[in-house]
Chain A
Amino acid sequence: MQVTITNLSLAYGGVAAVEGLDLTINDGESIVLLGQSGCGKTSTMRCIAGLEEPTGGSIAIGDTTVFDHDTGRSVPSFKRNVGMVFQSYAVWPHKTVLENVTFPLRMKKVKRGPARDKAMEVLGLVGLGHLAERGASQLSGGQMQRVALARSMAMEPSVLLLDEPLSNLDARLRDDLRVELRHIQQERGLTSLYVTHDQQEALALADRIAIMQAGHITQLGTPEDVYAAPASASIARFMGVTNVFTIASTASATGNKIELADHPVTLHSAATGPPGAASIAIRPEDIRVRAENDPPRTTHPDGTNTLTGTVEVRVYQGSSVRYQIAIDNGPQLDAVCPAGTGTLARGTRAHVDIDPAAVLVLPDEVTEVTDGTATPAQDEVAA
């Protein structure tokens, strides 16, 4: 069901955790709230679940207003039909797996028999049918998280909330469950809100990503949009762009020639950047590295920036190689190159080539969702 959050605010003892937040989750859509810890993303989710009392705004699930500060209406948590998967799993250790999953059904006064059938069906879906009678405290972390997911799905929630559900799991399991989660969410058409600080997870699971900083949503868009065009330097940094540099002055950002503040280096950019731009960001994958005496590649576009420096660190990552290159009289650049193109040893003199299109010119911070990114993808979802 569609969830509409309007002008939501939440303060703890005068300290604002969420401020004037607007967000609409369309029916069947998966939105990921991405942000650092303390940015208010979990608080937002707990407001939807009814576990926190907002200090302002309103929340509607489907046609029902579950919270409205102005009218004082507040539907208690247990009547909202919201599913939630907790970071700590919150699987009841004194009950069996089956008892955990049938709990929401029994609360809905579903008879024992049908409740059991339904629970077994969802347990089968998450691959735990064979563990139904097992005590929940005997499960591994991954299994517990599946139980928590099954428990929430069994109640056929209007919206499923997931609070960093994978962050307590080890890396391999996290990758597997991520794919599985996305599969289940899409197949079942679950309306869901997912909270995480892991950008890989966000990119993988979202129909739309909402970047949250200091209680505000600062960018909202498809994973592709957010990845390709971060709205600010701090968002870019958060999305894993390590090469972010301050621009000398905003004036020099005009005419596509950009002077860095701390280094005597000038770069060409394809964009002029919005007014007030103060930083440039270059994704490590967009930087090409070659030995000093190698010729540039044939697909070298016009106006490519070429800088020279020394390889400081080389980290082999299997499918790729990550370099840290100290540019002569310039900054340190991070570059990620596909492996197999021949790697450069530490201390090698090297050229780096940067496409002007890859040099993003960005403001340092944005406080609100700007321009058209607020509600894109509407028609996509409707289709």
Chain B
Amino acid sequence: MTITDTAPPPAPPEPPAAQPAPRRFRRPRGWGSLPLLILIAFLILVPAGFVLLAAFSVDIPRPGNINFDLTLDHIAVFTEPGVLKATLNSLIIGVSGTLLALLIGGFLAFVTARTNIPMRGFVFFIGLMPLFLPSYVGALAWSILGSPVAGLLNIGFQDLGIDFTVNIYSLGGVVLVMGMFYAPYAFLLMHSSMSLMNPDLEDAAGVHGGSTWRMLRNVTFPLAMPAILGSALLVFTHIFENFPVSQVLATPGQIDTLPTFIYRLMNASPSRGNEAAVMAVVLVIVVLLVTLGQRRILARRSYTTVSGKGLKARRITLGKWKWPLFAIALVYLLLSIILPLAALVLTAVRTSPYMQSFGDLSQPGAIDFGIFGNVLGSGLFLDSAGNSVIVALSSAAAGTVLAFLVGYTVYRTKARGRGLLESISMVPLAIPAIVLGMGLLWTWLVMPFPLYGTLWVMVIAFIAVQMPQGLRGIASSIQSTERDLEDNAVLHGARRSRAIMSITVPLMRVGLASTFLMLLMLSMRELTVPLFLYTSDTHILSITIFDQFENGGALQQAAAMSVIYCAIMFVLSYLPRRIGSGGGLTP
């Protein structure tokens, strides 16, 4: 990989070259996509390249000194004690967490899509809820709940005289939290697969002599298999590369995972960036393999055939199992949302950081809700929140525009290199956030413009990291927008750019708006990437909360801030749904 020739200044994102071709309704072709291609490659491939370079060169990239002396010495890191253990732990957490997430998600998907469980809408909502809580906030809350010494659950057990200690700082604890907070992804994929299933296929099993159980085993589950496998691989990559949960829950229990190991190498003094890079390459390879597998599975013809008739998925009557199954869903709600939120609120309003028993709370002055006011008014919160808003708004806006330009070029033009453009845009999916964070750090340390240490470096980093999600959002919208409508405007005398602005963009406004909001939300919750890029002047909310918890000093403030943060996230996640569902194309 050569680095020297990839340093042209980022070209301003401009529409894929208007064509001076004689026939004005022709779409841009040729190399009109080149500026975009260079920009995207610069944003995404350069950081990835730096990681690869660092893995095999004598020293990490530094400003004014990019080292091309290649060496394989760093591979020796694998002989280090603990590396194998960390890899093994990551695999254990990945596999068991995935199984747990599938179990929870699959159960909820099945009961909401295919049975008459009571309060179906509410149970569906239970399946989605954990999406509103960033996984590290969930992990932080669970560390308050389940730490072996001072965990609220353990205090509660003591109060009740039950001799049982929950230890969340264990492999089991990490698996539990990962499984619970990634279950919604599995839930959503499986729910759509199960509810879109053509009921005729199942009726056919009934009519031809299969009992309900036979029908489920022979028809329903096999048909849902692609969705189950697809979500398994998706969830696995997320859990495998997840850094914050492991950092919060596994590290205190002296358990290493690949991401925490990498983080530790980076933060060691002196920093062992080269070895971290080697480990990062391993992580990328695993994730890449799994991602490829996932694409293959999802690309296979899906079995969910939709017929012309109104689909009315058959619901199984649960009978006496109705309420027990409902109770299971409630337990999940309790463990994933209610207990964590309650723990955060309790920690925030408690005036004394020490608590022997829940009885302490009944003493006068033990609880003070003024903390929320204090935190809201504190300089740290206001600065972080302000920074978060600036970063999130800028990166979401720029990300949406860029995704639109790429999406338009890829799906609407015959420009050369558009396949490449799409592939590069999707690369961040296969690169764990922790690896991309390292790469972005080195990239912007080395760059001759002084962006490192400003908020803009985070904006640029977020745009790069969230490119796949942005492009996906735009792609589905652009593909469902009739291209003839835009061509028609051109045939009636508008320039291509004018036609795009006055026809295509307005038609896609719902898709554009929901992509923007989705990127906004992702930017608000991103933790791992900014962890490498922030400086003391550029705290954002997620970092501030993480920092306060990690350094232990300000647990109360951190908890209060988490609660406020969750409220913001809830609103942000709620908005796209409102717009997505209520919008349509009606003016």
Residues of A within 8 A of B (CB): 49-51, 76-84, 86-95, 103-104, 107-108, 137, 148, 151-152, 155, 161
Q: Which of B57-72 contact A (CB under 8 A)?
A: none
Knowing A94-B223, A103-B218, A107-B214, say if A88 contacts B207 (CB, 8 Å). Answer: no
A77 CA / B206 CA spacing, docked (Å): 6
Complex Cα–Cα for A104 and B207 (A):
9
Q: Which partner residue on chain A sits nearest B225 by CB separation?
A: A94
Across the interface, name the chain B residue whose C-beta is closest to A167: B308
Option from A78, A88, A91 in Cβ contact (under 8 Å) with B209: A78
A-B contact count (CB 8 A): 88
Q: Are B208 and A155 in contact (CB under 8 A)?
A: yes
- Interface flag for B504 (CB, 8 Å): no
Closest B residue, CB atoms, query A164: B309
B203 touches A107 (CB 8 A): no
| A151 interface neighbour in B198, B208, B301, Cβ under 8 Å | B208
B374 contacts chain A at the CB level, 8 A cutoff: no
Instruction: Kindly state the separation between the CA atoms of A258 and B200 in the bound complex, as whole angstroms.
Output: 51
Contact in complex: A90, B200 (CB < 8 Å): yes
The answer to whether A84 touches B204 (Cβ under 8 A) is yes
Q: How far is the CB of A90 from chain B (nearest CB, A)?
A: 4
Task: Using known A-B contacts A92-B219, A93-B303, A94-B225, determine if residue A87 contacts B309 with beta carbons closer than 8 Å.
Answer: yes
- Asked whether, in the complex, the Cβ of A49 is within 8 Å of the Cβ of B204, the reply is no
For chain B residues 201-224, which have a beta carbon within 8 Å of chain A?
201, 203-211, 214, 218-219, 222-223
Asked if B378 is at the interface of the complex by the 8 Å CB criterion, the answer is no
A83 touching B207, Cβ below 8 Å: yes
Which chain B residues border A82 with CB–CB below 8 Å?
Answer: 207
- Closest A-chain residue to B214, C-beta based? A107
User: Which residues of the partner chain B approach A87 to less than 8 Å between Cβ atoms?
Assistant: 200, 307, 309
A-B contact pairs, 6 of them (CB 8 A): A49-B203, A80-B207, A86-B204, A103-B205, A152-B207, A155-B209
Could you tell me if B210 and A94 are in contact, using CB atoms closer than 8 angstroms? no
Whole-angstrom distance between the alpha carbons of A104 and B206 in the complex? Answer: 9
Closest B residue to A106 by beta carbon equals B209
Q: A78-B214, A79-B209 are in contact. List 8 more A-B contacts (CB 8 A).
A: A50-B207, A88-B309, A92-B204, A94-B222, A103-B208, A103-B210, A104-B209, A107-B208
Closest to A94 in B: B222
State the Cβ distance, B423 to closest chain A Cβ, in Å.
Answer: 28
What 5 pairs between A and B have smallest CB-CB spacing?
A: A107-B209, A104-B208, A90-B200, A88-B307, A90-B204
Size band of the B side of the interface?
Answer: 20 to 34
B305 proximal to A (CB < 8 A): yes
Task: Assess the A152–B223 pair: CB atoms within 8 A.
Answer: no
On chain B, the residues within 8 Å of A95 by CB distance are 222
CA distance A148 to B205 in the complex (A): 11
Question: Assuming A86-B200, A92-B201, A107-B214, is B307 touching A51 (CB within 8 A)?
Answer: no
Q: Which of A82, A84, A94, A95 has the most CB of B within 10 A?
A: A94
Q: A88-B305, A90-B201 are in contact. Are A50 and B206 (CB under 8 A)?
A: yes
Once the chains are docked, how many angstroms separate the CA of A102 from the CA of B309?
A: 27
Interface residues of B in 420-453 (CB under 8 A from A): none
Interface string of B281-321 (1 = CB under 8 A from A): 00000000000000000000101010111000000000000
Find chain B residues with CB under 8 A from A83 CB: 207-208
Distance of A95 Cα from B210 Cα, bound (Å): 15
Contact, CB under 8 Å: A51 / B210:
no
Cβ contact within 8 Å between A51 and B223: no
Task: Assess the A90–B198 pair: CB atoms within 8 A.
Answer: yes
CB contacts (< 8 Å) of B219 on chain A: these are 92
Question: Which residue from chain B places its CB closest to the CB of A109 in the assembled complex?
Answer: B209
Tell me the minimal C-beta distance from B549 to chain A in angstroms.
48
Return B84 CB to nearest CB of chain A, in Å. 40
Asked whether, in the complex, the Cβ of B207 is within 8 Å of the Cβ of A77, the reply is yes
Distance to closest chain B CB from A10 (angstroms): 14
A108: chain B residues within 8 A (beta carbon): 209
Q: Which residues of B contact A103 (CB under 8 A)?
A: 205, 208-210, 218
Give CA–CA (A81, B207) in the complex, Å.
Answer: 7
- B203 x A86 contact (CB < 8 A): yes
Residues of B contacting A81 with CB < 8 Å?
209
Q: How far is the CB of A12 from chain B (nearest CB, A)?
A: 10
Tell me whether A78 and B307 are in contact in the complex, defined as CB-CB below 8 angstroms, given that A90-B200, A94-B222, A107-B214 are known contacts. Answer: no
Chain A min CB distance to B204 (Å):
4
Complexed CA–CA distance, A50 and B307 (Å): 21
Residues of A within 8 A of B208 (CB): 78, 83-84, 103-104, 107, 151-152, 155
Measured CB to CB, the closest approach of chain B to A48, in angstroms, equals: 10
Q: Which residue of A lies closest to B307 (CB)?
A: A88
| Residue of A whose beta carbon sits closest to that of B204 | A90
Contact B201 A78 (CB under 8 A): no
The answer to whether B206 and A94 have CB atoms under 8 Å apart is no
